[in-house]
Structure 1
Amino acid sequence: MRNYGPDTYGETNADVYDEWHADLDPADAVRCLEELIKEGPAGPVLELAVGTGRVTIPLAERGVDLRGVDASEAMVAIMRAKPGGDRIPVTIGDMADVDPGTDDQFAMIFVVFTTFFFLMSQEEQVRCFANVARRLVPGGRFVLECLVPDMARYQRNQSVDAHRVDQDHVRLVAVRHDPVDQRFDGQHILISDEGIRLAPVSMRYAWPSELDLMARLAGLERRHRWGGWRGEPYLGSGTHVTVYEKPA
């Protein structure tokens, strides 16, 4: 997708992001992350791709010392307009840099809602893991929530899905799959009486075993892999939540 950069998704989707993803209830993620924070070492916590603060704000309300990084000023502006969102320090930047604007070391770094795959190459993803490991205190954790791609959805490496059909609008998602570079290039398409709106999204997916290798290269060890935030068994498909740890 030409001219697509780290901030494109956020800049084009910020005003509708919470509405379009209202079905992604963050409550289980907040609870699980809070438990992991309590059992881990002391120190601040960093969220990569903080977005509109759907996880960060509830965690901060529970007393967690949180910082954030995001590439999109528009997404962060939505977060700062929410109650409590303006009290969370956020740095605008590429999450692969893992640079919160300070020299702090972190007890936990996390990225949710498959946003890690917004890093568009294997090199960027490997660099993110390396920078995460550099920023974690001994015993600190890196927590990722990622989808496992379902290749059965794609015929001739493409798909069109109807995500919402109402009387006054239709929301479609059209995706092309590049199996060589492990990329999805797509468009959310909203058709209504006001016209047509396009919201582009590109992702570079990685299989769980590939993420494990990235972690190993960075000096991190896998501690948990669940099928979701409730600790369900991981069965090889759907979503996985993986916890990596920096050796003490």
Structure 2
Amino acid sequence: MNSYFGGGEDGGGFVGGSQGGSQTARPINDESLRPVTIKQLIDAEQAFGDAPFRIDGVEIKQVTLVGMVRQISPQTTNITYRLDDGTGIIEVKQWLDADKQDDSSRRTFREEEYVRVWGRLKSYGNKRHVGAHVIKPVADINEVNYHMLECTYVHLFFTKGDPAAAAGGGGAAGGDEDSMFVDGGYGANADDKTRGYSAKAKKMYNHLNNSIGNNEGTNMHVIAQETGMSIQDVMAAAEELLGHGAIYTTLDDETFAILDCY
């Protein structure tokens, strides 16, 4: 996708969608666009009737979503689509421009066809819908999965923080924008990985993490000796770490190593 705004005359460069179907010239180039799921739109917070919607505590303006057309209801001034993306169902209204005589403003889509929508979340009569600026068919089914991954990434960005910041502003990656894909990226340090673990589990994990050059793992008796933990504490920590998939057994049931892909 070269542009979330659809590009060309389809995008229009304006925000349409008053309830009466009139078009209001309002530039959208300076407004952010957020990929969302339908559940996020349904759960979006709104302080009062005319207040902006917020997702993850952040105000949303333009949104884009991908879903399957479940129902089509043509009207005189608009076409209403019921869109389903697996997380929920919402109505998408595409207002018809009477001044346009070309087919693009009146194109309809088939039921059970995947489409991408660019628009704005609205509420009318306590019922939410998306006022669409642009609707286009999904040419590649991989776009459906891509959109869900993008929604997840943006959600984590706003709830967990900037991945680059989580790596210490880029750390060893030197601020490279691809640092989230290499060592030193998001969640790469031991503190992030052991967040929520017990003190014993953290101690054992950190010891294993700092045991460089030992591909065969470390025996529980060695761990106990070098960390000052009792065998019982090491066993309890190992059980917790195994349950989280953070470590695995190597030579035997008493020898452990860090799971590198964790």
So what's the TM-score if we normalise by structure 1? 0.24
Q: TM-score, normalised by structure 2?
A: 0.23
Higher relative contact order (CA 8 A, sep 6+): 1
